[in-house]
Chains A and B, each alone.
Chain A
């Protein structure tokens, strides 16, 4: 009963609280609005103080960064590297997660923990040895090189998330299929995998985002040929000055896909960000 009263007529205090919350959310978003505006300003308008709120929007910054500058190349590199590493991490990570979910494995707990440590470990810990190994194996500044490291740090996420998704599929389904005479592999491929598809999509999207955002590995292991979008941005800060307009333009491009992701996969954000520890 009380519930209906609250929704039909709100207490003024409650409205005030919601307004406070809305204001905090505004603070979270405001810097982005400013960056979007900045990316559409001319060089002169950017330096205008007080900031101009009304101006003639132009696309010069985008043109300079992506057509005249190297950013279309970096964008392409990012797309190649992120999609390949996601595909790889999902493929082999899903298999491993299935093993943890359905089979008895000697030392499973320890292996599961070890996989997590590869994710939690700061990139700087293995950066230098990787740099040396990559130089020797001629993987330095190659797409394959970056794809492999990105696969590594996404693998742990996939294994942890997918194990949870597999655990949610009732064991009775496997047993029924086994009784029908299907082999272990067929059970996995024909019965379990389709049921786990939503989980796979969610995991893949998280891999894409983390790979898209990853900085330190790509910074250390590339020079130009395989440079990704995040590594390209700091190059706009030069000794002759900073191309603020282009910084803003690239910032918008790097932000938009993630924004869409956050809106679409809203429901799974908590689960993905806590490695499946909190199920929603």
Chain B
């Protein structure tokens, strides 16, 4: 008998082996690349050791990168904020029993379960200038539309935001609805005995009880919104100009279109560090929640 001591480690071996091979190795590879000049289109510089030159350029000089970071943060704040308000509001509206509720909730969650690529293409059709139904509806309301919504730098990013809100509001809604369902009855009874108003009950009982859940939902949304790529790839490719060049799209273009691999690797490392920080927050919150339960 192998004994308890080693069995646990043995069970972990396959998972860790695969993760090392396909996560750590590529990551270390990226780390090495980021310290080199390597541009497949400019072979002259290729392979030279660059120390932290890529990072210095990224941080200090690359206006395009900072533009990408800027619109990514803008995208993230607007989108997650509105999704939260709408999703939470919708959950409060539907937090009562009525016939057909189950089917309504199931239907509402469809947009976020579907392949982002399919969502992107669907909206590409709907927003098409000649045959799109959205274009048609906007025109029939009487708003003159000279170009496709995704075709001008003024409207492209807000359009992407609306699509993201459409797709992910159900996520917040679903989590908050589950949270509202699981709330204990006693604090409400106590609050009613004390004669608290509905608003007071919401602010002083519901919100504090839901706080861990709200944080979890928001952090997951922030991570996902930061990662937005598929829709951008399908809908705008980062354009027009670089109006919708969210940071993952920027990294993709640097690596796979411009083939500036050394620099692209440093972009990717910076993205990773940001995600790592948010993930750490998420981890801390979930572990704390676990401890409270047990």
Chain A residues with a Cβ under 8 A of chain B: 6-7, 10, 14, 17-18, 20-22, 24-25, 27-29, 31-32, 34-35, 38, 46-47, 49-51, 91-93, 95-96, 98-99, 102-105, 109, 111, 113-118, 120-130, 132-133, 148-149, 151-152, 155, 159, 183-185, 209, 212-213, 215-216, 220, 229-231, 233-234, 237, 244, 247-248, 250-251, 254-255, 258-259, 261-263, 266, 269-270, 273-275, 277-278, 280
Contacts and interface: CB of A to CB of B under 8 A. Distances in A.
Contact of A128 (B104, B126, B133, B264): B264
Given A50-B140, A230-B118, A278-B213, A99 B12 contact: yes
Contact of A116 (B86, B111, B283): B283
Contacts of B128: 244
A113 B8 contact: no
B143 to A, nearest CB: 16
Nearest to B100: A22
A221 B61 CA distance: 32
Interface in B147-170: 166, 169-170
B107 interface: yes
Contacts of B226: 122
A273 B224 CA distance: 11
Contacts, number: 270
A124 B140 contact: no
A278 B216 contact: yes
A209 B29 contact: no
Contacts of B33: 128-129
Contacts of A273: 171, 174-175, 220
Nearest to B102: A266
Interface residues of B, number: 99
Nearest to B31: A129
Contact of B279 (A117, A244, A259): A117
A251 B121 contact: yes
A51 B265 contact: no
B251 A124 contact: yes
Interface of B: 1-2, 4, 7-9, 11-12, 14-16, 18-19, 22-23, 25-27, 29-30, 33, 86, 90, 93-94, 96-98, 102, 104-111, 113-118, 121-126, 128, 130-131, 133, 136, 140, 166, 169-171, 174-175, 178-179, 181-182, 213, 216-217, 220, 223, 226-227, 229-230, 233-234, 248, 251-252, 255-256, 261, 264-265, 268-269, 271-272, 275-276, 278-280, 282-283, 285-287, 289
B270 to A, nearest CB: 10
Nearest to B227: A122
A184 B18 contact: no
A127 B33 CA distance: 13
Chain A interface mostly helix, strand, loop or mixed?
A: helix
A246 to B, nearest CB: 11
B16 A111 contact: yes
Contacts of A113: 279-280, 283
A102 B15 CA distance: 16
A96 B229 contact: no
B255 A124 contact: yes
Contacts of A6: 96
Of B97, B131, B213, B233, which is in contact with the most chain A CB atoms at under 10 Å from its CB? B131
A258 B114 contact: yes
A18 B7 contact: no
A155 B19 contact: yes
Question: Which of B113, B122, B229, B271 has the most C-beta atoms of chain A within 10 angstroms of its own C-beta?
Answer: B113
A25 B108 contact: yes
B16 A32 contact: no
Given A124-B252, A216-B229, A278-B213, A244 B1 contact: no
Contacts of A251: 118, 121-122
B274 to A, nearest CB: 10
Given A31-B122, A111-B16, A274-B175, A233 B9 contact: no
